[in-house]
Amino acid sequence: MSDGASKKGDLILRLRGVSKQFGAVTALSDIELDIHAGEVVALVGDNGAGKSTLVKVLAGVHQPTAGTIEYLGKQVALDTPGKAIDMGIATVFQDLALCENLDVVANLFLGREMNPWRMDEVQMEVRAWTLLKELAARIPSVREPVASLSGGQRQTVAIARSLLSDPHIIMLDEPTAALGVAQTAEVLNLIERVRDRGHGVILISHNMEDVRAVADRIVVLRLGANNGVFTPESSHQDLVAAITGASENSVSRRMARKLETAGE
Amino acid sequence: MADNNEAPQLDRADSRVRNDQGLAGAMRGFYDRVRSGDLGMLPVVIGLVLISVVFTTLNPVFLAPNNLVNLLFDAAAVGLIALGVVCVLLLGEIDLSIGSMSGLSSAIIGVLWVNSGVPLLVAIGGAVAAGATVGFIYGVLRNNFEMPSFVATLSGLLALLGLQLYLLGSTGSINMPFTSPLVKFGQILIMPMWLSLILALLPGALMVYTGVSTMRRRQAANLSSEGLSVVLVKAGVLTAALLFAVYYLSLGRGVPWMFGVFVGFVAALDYALTRTKWGRSMFAVGGNAEAARRAGINVGMIRLSAFVLCSSLAALGGVFAAARLASASQQAGAGDVNLNAIAAAVIGGTSLFGGRGSAWSALLGVIVIMAISNGLTLLNLSSSLRYMITGAVLAIAVIVDSLARRSRASSGRA
């Protein structure tokens, strides 16, 4: 288990030339990405740009076809999810990856139960409540199976689980997609808190407002390749152009149309 | 229990949670669970009452103490096999070769111990090791070759049966000496009265002890607890039932050692499944294997452990069966053994769909199955009818399982 104690600004993760093929389809080609301690990097891109694939490569779910991953200065092979978690890379997957037949406590501690030969249910439950309180989660009971929770509640459980091991890097794949207004704000607060504690955060989101609110850098992927790095100060047009691959795109045309009707 | 005015407990702070406390709360919780399709042990209890009433009216011998003692002797072997089946069913897998495995194991005992003079314990060790090897092969076939377990174990069914026939050779059957400890264990050995009484008191005492200590720890951590009255009533009912059972059986011969050993295995597996990381991983893999993998669980190892455990327990069940019959024959493990073991696990409440079940389901299920089989034998029905009826019972158990699953899905419980 990691202690998450990197100095702010240290390079934690360095990807060079990472590619992933699914048969004839190239999902990722030649990706370069640096993550430093204490920064939030947003990964944006259209559907099918390869964001989730990249996250799964870093989580040890998929293995890259080519390229190198350096973690804390050493080249590593992330060949199983367990290895990634042990090294301190925690992930909140888009599909959440929860076990519906288990209760909230069991899901939070899955694979990292306290006291493996005589599970300490009381202490796990207390830790679960503390963690969920920190996230301002609205979960009525942690002893109900996850199947009975709503989408947003499940999302909170998945986020809470990623924080449990105090990782170096947290990857959040669309963490706010299913959340209400208050929970979204809490998740954004949480991302900032995690960053201030010196963790690196990778955030995938389609919501540009959220991305601009917390990201230090915005990395754009397009069709599986890098397509520029931006800051929250970059203009909306530039970002959209990088995401869609053209300054003349459906978003700009729509804007222009709106301006026209407003001008008439 | 009137602490409603104090600071809310950690897990009762949300106003949407009903504050179930004391006996009434426990009853209400149970009622809610059953309504939402979480049937637990209910079908078994209803089934046992029905079976007892029907068979006793047809033949009063059914409930005679000595008949029940015989029933328990018979139940131990199939029960051990069913215990292994629970392990694979929890993962949503199946092992169809358990019958053949138990037959092979009794043949190994016959050949090693009776024919070759190997010490009994070594022979038993050999049989269980053979079971572990077979389970290991199933695990590798499932993990490395993605072979569905029902196909792998179906081919195993035939292969193991072939090996059993090969070992037994042309004579086809090996008799075991009646004075040997193994056969005595399978036919005569009864626990002394004082021991069965202690064992009847033990679960209740343990329940109160762990219940009270958990309650203390939960209160210290500001969590709600079910309340002393619930613990005491549960323990009291259990102890009363066990004491009555021991008393009633002692009117006949008493509690068979064989059955006691079986219950010991059930208790051990129950602890492993509910209180250890391994058990939690079993349920996780059965519920959502991909999620378990992403949580860092070694899914392959968990599957391997389940198959090894299942085949080893089937082998040990075969040893018990050989002890019961005092012989290793070509018929051992054939016929309805497979179906009885799987039916016992399912009737007891272990789901065929994975992720739900408990070790106790093997115990309760096997008593139901054996009661039916015993009752039908008392009525002098031929095995043809017995097979048909047992088949129908399994079908009903699976229907109950499927319907309960649908009901759970619609009320938001996995």
Looking at residue B195, its pLDDT comes to 94
- Could you tell me if B63 and B140 lie in one domain? yes
Range of the domain at A254: 236-264
* One domain for residues B301 and B355: yes
CA distance A8 to A1: 20
Q: Which residues of chain B have a CB within 8 Å of the CB of A85?
A: 295-296
Token duo for residue B27: 């009853």
Query: Is A3 within a domain?
Result: no
Phi, psi of B38 (to 5 degrees): -95, 80
| Interface residue A128 vs chain B (CB under 8 A) | no
Please answer yes or no on whether A119 and B280 come within 8 Å at the CB atom: yes
Least confident of A38-47, A55-64, A131-140: A131-140
A203 neighbors A215 (Cβ within 8 angstroms): yes
Q: Using the 8-state DSSP alphabet, how is residue B12 labeled?
A: G
| Residue ranges making up the domain that contains B207 | 190-255
Write the single-letter amino acid at A156.
Answer: T
- Could you tell me which chain A residue has the CA closest to the CA of B412? A148
Task: Give the pLDDT of residue B197.
Answer: 94
Distance CA A11, CA B290 (A): 31
Maximum Cα interatomic distance, chain A, rounded to a whole number of Å = 74
Beta bridge partners of B362: none
Q: Cβ contacts of residue A68 below 8 Å, gap of 6+?
A: A15, A16, A17, A18, A75
**Domain match, A57 and A30 both:** yes
Mean pLDDT along residues A40-65: 90
> Cβ of A238 under 8 Å from any chain B Cβ?
no
One domain, residues B57 and B150? yes
| φ/ψ of residue B146, rounded to 5 | 55, 35
In a shared domain, residues B139 and B44: yes
Is residue A200 one of the residues assigned to a domain?
yes
Q: Are residues A185 and A263 in the same domain?
A: no
Question: How far is the C-alpha of B367 from the C-alpha of B363, rounded, in Å?
Answer: 6
Residue A137 lies in a domain: yes
Rounded (10°) angle between helices B65-90 and B98-109:
120
Domain count, chain A: 2
Evaluate whether residue A5 is within a structural domain: no
Is residue A36 domain-shared with residue A162, that is, in the same domain?
Answer: yes
Q: How far is A141 from chain B (nearest CA, A)?
A: 6
Share of chain A above pLDDT 90, in %: 31
Clarify whether residues B196 and B174 are in a common domain: no
Determine, for residues B283 and A101 on separate chains, whether the beta-carbon distance falls below 8 Å.
yes
**B47-71: pLDDT as tens digits:** 889 999 999 999 999 999 999 999 9
Identity of the amino acid at B61: V
pLDDT digits (tens, 9 = 90+) for B135-187: 999 999 999 999 999 999 999 999 999 999 999 987 788 999 989 999 999 99
Give the B window 296-315 contacts with A, CB below 8 Å.
Answer: 296-298
Query: Is A67's Cβ below 8 Å from some Cβ in B?
Result: no
How many other β-carbons are positioned within 10 Å of the β-carbon of residue B102?
A: 36
Mean pLDDT of A66-78: 91
Q: Which two tokens stand for residue B177?
A: 């000496």
Both A18 and A135 in one domain: the answer is yes
List CB contacts (< 8 A) between B283 and chain A: 99, 101-102, 106
Give which of A38, A150, A157 is closest to A109, Cα–Cα: A157
Contacts of A81 in chain B (CB under 8 A): 293-296
Whole-number pLDDT of residue B413 = 64
- A102/B284 Cβ within 8 A: yes
What's the one-letter identity of residue A101?
N
Give the model confidence (pLDDT) of A142-192 as tens digits.
Answer: 888 898 888 778 888 888 898 888 888 999 998 888 777 877 887 888 788
Say if A6 falls within a structural domain. Answer: no
Do residue B242 and residue B262 come from a single domain? no
Rounded to whole angstroms, the Cα distance separating B407 from B28 reads: 18
How would residue B19 be classed by pLDDT, with cut points 50, 70 and 90? low
Q: Is there a domain that residue B129 lies in?
A: yes
Asked if residue A1 belongs to a domain, the reply is no
Question: The whole model's pTM is what?
Answer: 0.89
- Rounded alpha-carbon distances, angstroms, from residue A249 to A219, A224, A225, A259: 19, 19, 19, 15
Mutation choice for B interface testing from A122, A134, A139, A153 by most B CBs within 10 A:
A122
Closest CA to A188 of A135, A127, A130, A131: A135
A151 and A245 both lie in a single domain = no
ipTM above 0.95?
no
Which residue in B has a C-alpha nearest to residue A164's C-alpha? B295
Q: Is B335 contained in some domain? A: yes
Min mean pLDDT across A26-30, B24-28, B74-78, B249-253 is at B24-28
Determine, for residues A99 and B283 on separate chains, whether the beta-carbon distance falls below 8 Å: yes
Inform me whether the pLDDT recorded for B27 exceeds 90: no
B296 → closest Cβ in A111, A125, A147: A111
Task: Please check whether residues B339 and B194 belong to one and the same domain.
Answer: no
Q: Are residues A183 and A209 in the same domain?
A: yes
- Euclidean distance between CA atoms B61 and B337, whole angstroms: 25
Answer whether residue A52 is part of any domain. yes
Last residue of a domain, one of B231, B255, B279: B255
Residue A126 touches partner B, C-beta closer than 8 Å: yes
For the stretch A197-243, pLDDT in tens is 788 999 998 888 888 889 999 999 999 888 889 888 888 888 888 88
**pLDDT, mean of residues B203-222:** 91
Query: Do B359 and B265 share a structural domain?
Result: yes
Answer yes or no: is pLDDT of B7 > 80: no
**Interface contact flag, A147 B16, Cβ < 8 Å:** no
Is A118–B284 a contact, with Cβ atoms under 8 angstroms apart? no
Give the number of other Cβ atoms within 10 Å of residue A143's Cβ. Answer: 16
Do B58 and B110 reside in the same domain of the chain?
yes
According to the model, what pLDDT value does residue B385 have? 85
B27: in domain:
no
Which of A35-49, A129-143, A248-262 tops mean pLDDT?
A: A35-49
Longest dimension (CA), chain B: 80
Q: Do A102 and B292 touch (CB under 8 A)?
A: no
- Give B68-92 pLDDT, tens digit per residue: 999 999 999 999 999 999 999 999 9
Boundary-marking domain end, from B208, B226, B255: B255
Q: Tell me: do B264 and B249 sit in the same domain.
A: no
What tokens does A41 get? 């990097």
Domain total for chain B? Answer: 2
Cross-chain CB nearest to B291 (options A98, A116, A138): A98
Q: Domain check: are A114 and A17 in the same one?
A: yes
Determine the Cα–Cα distance for residues B225 and B275; give it in Å rounded to an integer.
Answer: 18
| Single-letter amino acid code for the residue at B158 | L
**B351/chain A closest Cα distance in angstroms:** 12
User: Would you list the DSSP string of B27-41?
Assistant: HHHHHHHHHTT--TT
The CATH number of residue B300's host domain is 1.10.3470
> Do residues B100 and B166 both lie within one domain?
yes
Residue B140, in any domain of the structure: yes
Chain-chain contact of B16 with A140 (C-beta, under 8 angstroms): yes
> Is the minimum CB–CB distance between B398 and chain A shorter than 8 Å?
no
Q: Is B35 an 8 Å CB contact of chain A?
A: no
Residues A204 and A254 in one domain: no
Contact at CB, B280 and A145, closer than 8 angstroms: no
B62 touches chain A (CB under 8 A): no
Q: Does pLDDT of A83 surpass 80?
A: yes
Q: Identify whether B151 is part of a domain.
A: yes
Residue A247 falls inside a structural domain: yes
**Is B393 inside any structural domain?**
yes
Residue A63 and residue A16 share a domain: yes
**Spatial CA neighbour of B255 closest among B56, B78, B70, B82:** B70
**CB neighbours of residue B187 within 10 Å:** 16
Are B291 and A145 within 8 A, CB to CB?
Answer: no
Which residues of chain B lie closer than 8 angstroms to A102, CB-CB?
280, 283-284, 287, 414
If phi over 0 gives left and psi between -120 and 50 gives alpha, with beta otherwise, what is residue A21? beta
Of B210, B238, B255, the last residue of a domain is B255
User: Which residue on chain B is closest to A101 by alpha carbon?
Assistant: B414
Chain A positions in Cβ-Cβ contact with residue B275 (cut-off 8 Å): 118-119
**What percentage of chain A exceeds 70 in pLDDT?**
97
Q: Percentage of residues in chain B with pLDDT exceeding 70?
A: 95
The answer on A70 and A156 residing in a single domain is yes
A229 shares its domain with A246:
no
With bands split at pLDDT 50, 70 and 90, how would you rate the model's confidence at B412?
A: low
Residue B245 confidence (pLDDT) above 80? yes
The mean per-residue pLDDT over the stretch B29-43 comes to 76
Has residue B174 been placed in a domain? yes
State the smallest CA–CA distance between residue B221 and chain A in angstroms: 7
Residue in B277, B278, B281, B298 to test binding to A, most A beta-carbons within 10 Å: B277
Does B34 reside within a domain?
A: no
Same-domain status, A261 and A168: no
Q: Is A151 on the interface with B (CB under 8 A)?
A: no
- Same domain? For B103 and B181 the reply is yes
Give the CATH number of the domain where residue A100 resides.
3.40.50.300
> Tell me: the pLDDT tens digits for B280-324?
999 999 999 999 998 989 999 999 999 999 999 999 999 999 999
